[in-house]
Amino acid sequence: MSFRTLWFADGALHLLDQRGLPARAEVVTVKSAEETARAIREMVVRGAPAIGCAAAYGLALSARAGEDFEKARAALLSARPTAVNLRWALERMAAVRPRAFEALKAEADKILQEDLEACRAIGRHGAALVPEGKGILTHCNAGGLATAGYGTALGVVRAAIAGGKRCDVFAGETRPWLQGARLTAWELLQDGIPVTLLPDVAAASLLSSGKIGCVVVGADRVARNGDTANKVGTYPLALAAQAAAVPLFVAAPLSSIDLRAASGREIPIEERSAEEVTHLLGQRVAPEGVSVFNPAFDVTPARYIAAIVTERGVARPPYQDSLAALAGA
């Protein structure tokens, strides 16, 4: 990949500021858990595995900054509620002894490295599912920008193309924060992978056109039964894919699988500010006084998901059994 999403150097965590992309590739540097939690909340860094990695470094930084460990952990955990990677990473960090900077930083390095390896393995497993000569449609950004690098859904795209498959890549713009238009398009073009951008509302027409061989998306949290929370707009995409008989694959590391949640009903869904919907590029487009419904994620029922691709292999329905087997539970 031609860019770095997050890295630790000179006693601080450096984050490629995703709010400014693609116009500005600036870096935000954080030196405490409090600053890390703010960066996660404000989407300097976003995407489930990437925020797990950032939170791990944030907790390491808390030891350096002299912050109270439990308060730091609580601040990081509450930064964003839906991606389970945050809880997963913080639980791993909390088990580290001694709770000293060097030991905590070493664990955060491991989490980052493991995520990178998981993405590469997801890419390998997922590439085998990609039909030759057809389009791949993705949503949001589940790429190197959303992970330690390489990506989950975009890891599948990268691996399929690197393996010689001919497939055109299509990305939905992903209203309202435009992760597809701003981030997926940017990161694929940075790596020389052509991509066609479409408004989210055009996805059903594209799927019914016969051009698309599969839909590949990431996940913020997969429940035990396979119900999957991902960027809002994934669920309607799954319905349209089902209607067009196109398989939808979820690509996610085991750190995104929450075996403690029995179904999607137990997944908390983040609601974000009204301004994300009422404004475009800082300009108001909806009238003053309008009410707004702005969930950041939706839950796709497991019955619409053809397979869940993890670093340990591909889970197929019934997910209750296949996910538990892959997770070794």
Which one, of 267, 258, 210, 261, lies nearest residue 235 by Cα? 267
**Smallest distance from ligand MRU to CB 231, Å:** 3
Quote the DSSP letter at residue 271. B
**Smallest distance from ligand MRU to CB 52, Å:** 10
Length of the chain: 329
Q: Give the type of residue at 127.
A: A
For ligand MRU, give the closer residue by CB, 81 or 96.
Answer: 81
Is 310 near ligand MRU (CB under 6 A)?
no
Is 46 near ligand MRU (CB under 6 A)?
yes
For ligand MRU, give the closer residue by CB, 40 or 93.
Answer: 40
Helix axes 33-41, 48-65, angle to 10 degrees: 160
Is 48 near ligand MRU (CB under 6 A)?
yes
Is 138 near ligand MRU (CB under 6 A)?
no
Candidate list 152, 225, 300, 310; residue touching ligand MRU; CB under 6 A: 152
Q: Give the type of residue at 242.
A: Q
Query: What gap in Å lies between CA 56 and CA 107, rounded to an integer?
Result: 8
Residue numbers 223-242 binding ligand MRU by CB under 6 A: 230-231
Q: What are the contacts of 79-82 at 24+ separation with CB within 8 A? A: 79/37, 79/38, 79/40, 79/41, 79/51, 79/55, 80/40, 80/41, 80/51, 80/270, 81/268, 81/269, 81/270, 82/220, 82/221, 82/229, 82/267, 82/268, 82/269, 82/270, 82/296, 82/297
Candidate list 59, 83, 161, 254; residue touching ligand MRU; CB under 6 A: 83
Is 180 near ligand MRU (CB under 6 A)?
no
Q: Give the type of residue at 286.
A: A
220 is catalytic: yes
For 50, list phi and psi in degrees, rounded to 5.
-65, -40
For ligand MRU, give the closer residue by CB, 135 or 144.
Answer: 144
**Smallest distance from ligand MRU to CB 221, Å:** 9
**Residue number, nearest CB to ligand MRU:** 218
Is 216 near ligand MRU (CB under 6 A)?
no
**Contacts with ligand MRU, residue ranges (CB under 6 A):** 46-49, 83, 140, 142, 146-147, 152, 179, 218-220, 230-231, 296
Residues with catalytic roles: 220
